[in-house]
Amino acid sequence: MPRELALIHWSEQNIVLDPNLDDFGVPAGVIQALRSRPISKGILACSACLKSAKRSVSPWVHLRQQGGRLIVAHHASKKRRDPCHAESPEHEALKDRIAGCAERHGFRALLEHNTADRKGRADVEVVGPGGVRIGHEVQLSAITATSLSRRTNTALRDGRVPSWLTTDRSAHSDTRNLIDRVPWAMSNRLHEELIRRGRPVRVSAGLSKLQMTPCRFLPGWCPDTPGVLDCSRWHTRWDNVAVPIEDFVGFTAAGEYLPVCLPTQYRQVRRRWVTEDDRELYVHATGRELEPERPQAGGEGGSGEGKSQDSRLHQGEEYEPEKKKAVRPRAKVSEVVRGDIVVGTLSELPERARVQEAATGQAATAVVLEEAPHRLAGDQAERAWLEAAVAVPCTHFMGADLGRCESTPSRVYARGRRCFEHAPNPYSQVAATG
């Protein structure tokens, strides 16, 4: 079905022309009067451009002959030359449906509401509790990734959470660019008359719910630990959720659903709407922080300056160079060729080496660790592990004649302490079961 062209207004005579009709919906004398006048701005105006929030778009058009047919064309401009397309009936019906859903939930809905700087406009803006604003954008036609990013950033700077609604996300879809680029949702496609009659519209994609599953219930090997059947931990999975459009509009306005970026493989992300409880449970289970794309409530609209570089310097704030982190010095090591190993700082080594030499009768190998005034917790844990590895020898039994291995350093495995020579293979069944 071809898209309809926007109506044309002749402001001087208060006449509306419909370019979708062959005769423009007016008597032939009106067309002759327009064709007889010289082409100039200020006579015919495009209704779609008049509604646009962009001040740089010129609404003036003229009539010209092309291929034996009279068409509408914009005046020569770098911004636009082709005729404008009006909103489809399905687009208008979905906007009215979203506004009606918000008002039934007790929220205020604004149709075609502009930003503070008039650089953007939302199809439907829903104002929730605390001044949180959700800007619903119904996108049924093709859109480029550049235009999508620009409109989304404009909404975020204005303090509004963008929510894009589409009806098709297939590979050949015109709206494929918005999938996982912005907070989005997909509903089933219905005719305009069915949407206005109240036929159920379900949001079947774009919303996710967290599922927690123990590792022992998963088929095959552990997805996180190679060669292990059961890591005794819980694994997370995000499943799609389908809800009516009335619940989607109400939950997002109330703050129960938040847009987040879910990490995936190859450093990519999936943008989904999730509940606050699922987000907190995911952070607690995995330790990965999911920051919601939620600006501060009632934020002021930002200017168009410095769009490409939103740093503090370009925003007019005072610039302070970041302080470099202090680099912890490496440990100094001095070794003696034979004997056992003694670990400690310069103040501790003499006493430890004397005790070790008296016990074994051999000179000790000294590993000197530099004393730091503020030692980190990770260093203390590593030092404690190394001391335990040296103090406790390997317990591997080598036979009745040789007895235990008694080599150091060693570490704890499922079957006891083992040195590096007798450590089990991490991919063997022994390491997996202990």
Taking only the tens place, the pLDDT of each residue in 25-52 is: 888 888 888 877 776 667 888 877 776 6
Question: What pLDDT is attached to residue 4?
Answer: 64
The DSSP symbol for 222 reads: -
Q: Is the pLDDT of residue 126 over 90?
A: yes
Nearest Cα residue to 193 out of 286, 102, 90, 279: 90
Alpha-carbon torsion (345, 347, 352, 354), positive or negative: positive
Question: What pLDDT is attached to residue 274?
Answer: 92
Taking only the tens place, the pLDDT of each residue in 299-354 is: 443 333 333 333 333 333 343 444 555 555 544 434 333 344 444 444 454 555 55
Cβ within 8 Å of residue 296, ≥6 positions away: 159
Q: Is the pLDDT of residue 355 over 70?
A: no
Mean pLDDT of 403-417: 78
Q: Which structural domains are found in the chain, ordered by start?
A: 8-74 (no CATH), 89-207+242-286 (3.40.1350.10), 341-433 (no CATH)
Helix then strand then coil, % of the chain, to nearest 5: 25, 25, 50
Tokens of 238: 């995000």
Taking only the tens place, the pLDDT of each residue in 136-189 is: 999 887 787 888 888 888 888 888 899 999 887 676 677 777 888 888 999 988
User: Which pTM does this prediction carry?
Assistant: 0.53
Question: What pLDDT is attached to residue 331?
Answer: 44
Taking only the tens place, the pLDDT of each residue in 411-421 is: 777 777 888 77
- Lowest pLDDT segment from 10-24, 78-92, 172-186: 78-92
* pLDDT, greater one: 84 or 257: 257
